[in-house]
Amino acid sequence: MERFNGYFGEFGGAYVPEGLQKALKDLEEIFYKYIDDEDFINELNYYSKQYVGRENPLYFARRLTEYVGGAKIYLKREDINHTGSHKINNALGQALLAKRSDKKRIIAETGAGQHGVATATVCALFGMDCTVYMGAVDMKRQEHNVFRMKLLGAKVVPVTEGNATLKEAVDKALEDYIENYNDTFYLLGSAVGPHPYPMIVREFQSIIGKEAKRQILEQEGRLPDYIIACVGGGSNAIGLFHPFVEDKEVKIIGVEPGGKGLDSKHHAAAISKGEEGILHGFKSYALDESKYSIHSIAAGLDYPGVGPEHSYYKATGRADYVSITDEEALEAFYKLTKLEGIIPALESSHALAYGMKLASSLPKDNIIIVNLSGRGDKDVNQIMEMENNI
């Protein structure tokens, strides 16, 4: 793999304390050493197939397509993966890097809990010590995933500072990493953070887009007209988007959490409403938290920034970024469940909601791929409480 300087245009970089620079440089060296190594790739492919269950289907949602009455909607079924989301792709890859680094202690951050569960899972698989930082608010609305992490042997540390959600969990994980990087591997979950993390996460998640491209060519004999994914930090989206970037005929759409509406102060649409700035050691679009109350019905999208590669796609016009409200995402959640028998994660429901809206406006010979990044088991209790309070 060619060396990369850590910037996507003007976005990215590593704006970190001197103490962390060596750790990141060591991580970069390990990544480049093994990413093209035959033994590493063979082991990654073995566990991806035999443990995670790849490749997963690209499913034509026939009843959903008939309901919207427009373009064909295909779903990339990351929800079928072991642990229930795309997060296992990256967790597995980074765990194998940690294994080759001889580091037995793994730390991670998590929002919706899916990355925490994936990290705890690979730590159990490889016999590693696991600590997961999670905002206290997210722990409350994702109790199911917290219990799963503990069952898997992870220590889950509640973070109570600030909004007590994903941003604060990342803060705590970075603090731990700075203090303990000599014997600790930080398994970062999204396509954010200082270089080389956005590149590493993108590399391990790009299996999504590589499979989807091959599968749509097999099923339809051509590339899709649109590919769509939800964007918080943006790892599932960059995994789908990157393999299609050079295919100019394919339109790319990222769907941000519109919360209570972009005209309100309660959302997490960092690209749509943010400004260029430094967050967690990298330059990207980010929301000013003095102006906005970072909010989404989906815990995994509750983040004030976005990955630098998405910022670059926005700035160059290669991708469009739109938003879906909590209400629209919830409606899509129910619709897919009842029409296709698939319960989607609330994060994925954002992409699905926009995909349905777009499909209804397009000719029937158009093709859309929506990344179904995770399953909704983790959200059922949250939705049940909402229904009980109506």
List active site positions. Answer: 87, 109, 373
372: left (phi over 0), alpha (psi -120 to 50) or beta: beta
Partners of 256 in the β-ladder: 323
Euclidean distance between CA atoms 60 and 144, whole angstroms = 30
- Of the candidates 201, 207, 240, the one whose C-alpha atom is nearest the C-alpha of residue 224 is 240
Strands 105-110 and 226-230: unpaired
For 115-162, the three-class secondary structure string (H helix, E strand, C coil) is: HHHHHHHHHHHHCCEEEEEEEHHHHHHCHHHHHHHHHCCCEEEEECCC
- Quick one: which of 373, 342, 370, 335 has its CA closest to 354? 370
Distance of CA 135 to the CA centre of its chain: 17
- Close Cβ partners of 354 (under 8 Å, ≥ 6 residues apart): 228, 253, 255, 322, 324
Of the candidates 279, 276, 281, 310, the residue with the CA atom closest to the CA atom of residue 14: 281
CA angle 137-139-140, nearest 5°? 65
The rounded distance, in Å, linking the Cα atoms of 106 and 188 is: 10
